[in-house]
């Protein structure tokens, strides 16, 4: 029997995004190169203002980041200053409401999974339940919220943690992150990109700074706490060229397809905060036969979100490049310009967007090839926490001058 016209027709793409963002141009280039035509762009601003959008049943619907747009940021956070740190809880609620208002189409980003990925406490809990190695955390899952700096100090003491990352539960791009380290003598230091004004307002800065007065650190944490906080052990990490290193591994359709090394002299490896791309070939040589473990670790993390075609997994390599843990799973972690696929990944010669276009047509949410099904339902923050017996949480002692990623 011959193929029908509908079977031969290329897929119809729609992308919810900020139309002027470079992500849209790079994705459109991928769909056009594949012979799929130019995707229909639905603006996040219109979705948020109009109360949703309708898609045709045969449209492949991709969601892209609502970031880097002042109007959309104001609609989500309710703040008129794009550099302000506060407002991430409001952003989270309004973003999820916007996602829920999208109707129809074949979705490549599961709304319930987005809710988990954009809450670091729930994401950590889901990974831990799946025995994916993660840093030890006293805020994983549905524990009571962290109210202030006093709660942070108490949780650190109870868990025996002297070095931690304090993160906004719904933050991204290192916004509101503090790398906190204490000594037996009581001294304390926090490294962060947060700048606190004389009026007590918090702003994101491109300059990493250190606070050594506990009252200053407490004031920052107290201002962040209403938006929700996540605390996790600051793990010692491998180095590359004398700089702390970690990995962003992109997983498409269940397979690790792209990887980039991020290095830094500060605890924050984000590229916009002074981090730099490292030599992936050098990392593969240092890791040797354990490189496959790094990729497998990322794939296991992605398998916890089988309804989402593509995620970016932040992988933390231990000193010596022999062990790996997962820091975060990013729904929009595919912005890696000019990077082509890993050898043997099936995405050789393709950037992250072209790899997604190639995989999307056969993508079946919840049934990734060779991967496990979703791990449990979403656990609302009000549910009781897990047992403290978590052998998959990494808790080895920290040497001096170690770094981590956020």
Residues 211/192, Cβ–Cβ less than 8 Å? yes
The predicted structure's pLDDT at residue 270: 65
Q: In angstroms, rounded to a whole number, what is the distance separating the alpha carbons of residues 93 and 115?
A: 9
pLDDT classification of 364: cutoffs 50, 70, 90: confident
pLDDT classification of 6: cutoffs 50, 70, 90: low
The predicted structure's pLDDT at residue 371: 41
Altogether, the residues listed in the chain come to a count of 406
Average confidence (pLDDT) over 8-15: 91
Q: In angstroms, rounded to a whole number, what is the distance separating the alpha carbons of residues 171 and 87?
A: 10
For the segment(s) 236-360, the CATH number from 2.40.160.60, 3.40.50.300, 3.30.470.20, 3.30.9.30 is 3.30.470.20
**Structural domain boundaries in the chain:** 7-107, 136-234, 236-360
Q: In angstroms, rounded to a whole number, what is the distance separating the alpha carbons of residues 390 and 134?
A: 10
State whether residue 27 is helix, strand or coil.
helix
Q: In angstroms, rounded to a whole number, what is the distance separating the alpha carbons of residues 154 and 252?
A: 40
What's the CA angle centered on 166, arms 163 and 172, to 5 degrees?
135
The model's pLDDT over 258-275, given as tens digits with 9 standing for 90+, comes to: 999 999 877 776 666 556
Provide DSSP, 118-146: T-HHHHHHHHHHTT--EE--TT-SSPPPP
The model's pLDDT over 109-147, given as tens digits with 9 standing for 90+, comes to: 999 999 999 999 999 999 999 999 999 999 999 789 999
For residue 86, give the DSSP letter: -
The predicted structure's pLDDT at residue 402: 31
pLDDT at 398 over 80: no
Quote the crossing angle between the two packed helices 149-159 and 214-224, to the nearest 10°. 100
The model's pLDDT over 15-74, given as tens digits with 9 standing for 90+, comes to: 999 999 999 999 999 999 999 999 999 999 999 999 999 999 999 999 999 999 999 999
Half-sphere CA count of 275, side-chain side, radius 13 A: 27
CA distances from 377 to 38, 90, 100, 216, 231 (A): 36, 23, 17, 39, 22
Query: How many Cβ atoms sit within 10 Å of the Cβ of residue 337?
Result: 10
Q: What is the pTM of this model?
A: 0.88
The predicted structure's pLDDT at residue 26: 98
What's the CA angle centered on 402, arms 116 and 256, to 5 degrees?
45
For residue 30, give the DSSP letter: H
* Of 126, 153, 114, 181, residue with least CA distance to 392: 126
Say if strands 310-317 and 324-330 run parallel, antiparallel, or are unpaired.
antiparallel
Average confidence (pLDDT) over 328-342: 96
Q: In angstroms, rounded to a whole number, what is the distance separating the alpha carbons of residues 336 and 261?
A: 11
């Amino acid at each position: 029997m011959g193929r029908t016209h509908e079977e031969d027709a290329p897929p119809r793409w729609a992308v919810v995004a900020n139309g002027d963002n470079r992500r849209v141009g790079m994705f459109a280039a991928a769909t056009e190169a594949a012979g799929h035509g130019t995707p229909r762009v639905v603006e996040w601003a219109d979705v948020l203002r109009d109360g949703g959008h309708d898609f045709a049943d045969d449209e492949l619907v991709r969601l892209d980041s609502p970031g880097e747009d002042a109007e959309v940021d104001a609609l989500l956070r309710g703040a008129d200053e794009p550099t302000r740190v506060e407002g991430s809880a409001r952003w989270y609620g309004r973003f999820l409401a916007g996602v829920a208002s999208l109707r129809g189409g074949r979705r490549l980003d599961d709304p319930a999974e987005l809710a988990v990925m954009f809450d670091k406490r729930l994401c950590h809990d889901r990974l831990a339940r799946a025995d994916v190695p993660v840093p030890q955390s006293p805020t994983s899952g549905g524990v009571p919220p962290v109210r202030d700096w006093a709660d942070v100090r108490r949780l650190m003491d109870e868990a025996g943690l002297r070095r931690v990352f304090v993160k906004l539960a719904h933050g991204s791009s290192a916004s509101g992150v503090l790398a906190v380290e204490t000594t037996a003598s009581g001294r304390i230091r926090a490294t962060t990109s947060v700048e606190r004004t004389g009026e007590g307002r918090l702003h994101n800065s491109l300059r990493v700074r250190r606070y050594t007065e506990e009252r200053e650190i407490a004031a920052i944490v107290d201002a962040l706490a209403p938006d929700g906080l996540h605390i996790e052990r600051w793990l010692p990490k491998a180095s590359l060229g004398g700089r702390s290193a970690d990995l962003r591994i992109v997983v498409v359709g269940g397979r690790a397809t792209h990887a980039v090394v991020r290095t830094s002299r500060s605890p924050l490896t984000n590229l916009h905060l002074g981090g730099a791309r490292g030599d992936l070939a050098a990392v593969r040589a240092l890791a040797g036969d354990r490189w496959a473990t790094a990729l497998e670790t990322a794939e296991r993390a992605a398998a916890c979100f089988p309804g989402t075609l593509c995620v970016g997994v932040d992988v933390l390599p231990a000193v010596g490049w022999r062990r790996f843990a997962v820091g975060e799973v990013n729904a929009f972690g595919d912005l890696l310009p000019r990077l082509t696929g890993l050898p043997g990944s099936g995405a050789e010669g393709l950037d992250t967007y072209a790899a997604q276009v190639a995989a999307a047509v056969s993508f079946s949410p919840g049934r990734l090839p060779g991967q496990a099904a979703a791990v449990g339902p979403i656990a609302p923050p009000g549910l009781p926490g897990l047992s403290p017996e978590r052998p998959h949480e990494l808790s080895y002692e920290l040497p001096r001058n170690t770094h981590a990623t956020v």
